[in-house]
Amino acid sequence: MSAATKTAYTPTAGSILFFAIHLAAIYALFVKPDMTSVIMCVVLFVIRKFGITGGYHRYFSHRSFKTTRWFQFVLAFLGGMAAQKGALWWAAHHRHHHQHSDQPEDVHSVKQQGFYWAHLGWILSPEYFDYDAKRVKDLTKFPELVFIDRHHYIPPAVTGLACFLIGGWTGFLWGFCLSTVILYHTTFAINSFCHLLGSRRYETGESSKNSFILAILTLGEGWHNNHHYYPHCARQGFFWWEIDPTYYALKFFKLIGIVHEIKEPSLKVIEGKEATAALG
């Protein structure tokens, strides 16, 4: 993999921060929260999860809807607040996953490298601290996206500071640390559990599964077999009972004129008569 862009953290600092926030999240469980801290934990989970699902995943990785340049930056910032590096880093690796899913080149394949690697190991590996900028040429033409990706520590730092200023140490522990760690593992679970447990509607040539529980925990990302079958569409729950809050939020943003050209699955796709479309 060519390493075209350096991440802002040194590998050691990034790994230390990653482990430190886990320790802080465990400590938070022993600190009695006030109502403000609980609200911050829940609200920041939902907003930042949408930044990952609607922003990093369905917009930056798959370009499954269109929006304005300012809202594009808002999505990059919201996703960035989840401390999962920048939108360009995230999208480059995710596009690679779709192109090589469950093949030896896949960055996080349960089938190839086991559960731990797919869930967490690859993120801690120095091999993937950088990304191949050639995979996100459509995004690197926006200097503000390159800036916020390179300085990806800014959105989480602002979020953590805001939590502290609003709720003190309890607010920081619950609103930022605990919420961020739950965000981490629900996101990582799509790469691990959703390639391991659940049902399959479509034959996709790899191991993706649909999971109702993970769809609830991830604002609709648990319909991962649907998604691997047809990654281009913004909707991942193909039927009314396949709850997909990210899609509902995008429909709302379309209603108020912020997003447009939301890609929907055609009847041919839903019936499984469309060839699986891998992202290049």
Chain contacts with Zn ion (rule: CB under 5 A): 231
- Least Å distance between CB 224 and Zn ion? 6
Tell me whether residue 220 or residue 231 sits nearer to Zn ion (CB atom).
231
The CA distance from 142 to 127, in Å, is: 26
CA–CA separation, 64 vs 54, rounded Å?
Answer: 9
Comparing CB distances to Zn ion, the nearer of 167 and 231 is 231
Nearer to Zn ion, 119 or 172 (CB): 119
To Zn ion, the closest distance from the beta carbon of 221 in angstroms equals 8
Q: What's the burial of 17, exposed, middle or buried (CB within 10 Å: 0-12/13-18/19+)?
A: middle
- In sequence order, the β-bridge partners of residue 5 are 131
Query: At its nearest, how many Å lie between Zn ion and the CB of residue 112?
Result: 12
**Nearest partner of 261 among 251, 249, 270, 269, judged by Cα:** 251
How far apart (Å, rounded) are the C-alpha atoms in residues 148 and 229?
31
φ, ψ for residue 105 (rounded to 5)?
Answer: -80, -15
Q: How far apart are CA 12 and CA 130, in angstroms?
A: 14
Measured from the CB of residue 18, what is the shortest distance to Zn ion in angstroms?
22
Helix/strand/coil for 244:
coil
CB of 236 to Zn ion, least distance (A): 9
Q: Which one, 231 or 265, has the nearer CB to Zn ion?
A: 231
Least distance (Å) between residue 113 CB and Zn ion: 14
Q: Which is nearer to Zn ion, 54 or 231 (CB)?
A: 231
CB nearer to Zn ion: give 57 or 152: 57
Greatest C-alpha distance within the chain? 55
Stretch (H or E) spanning 231: none
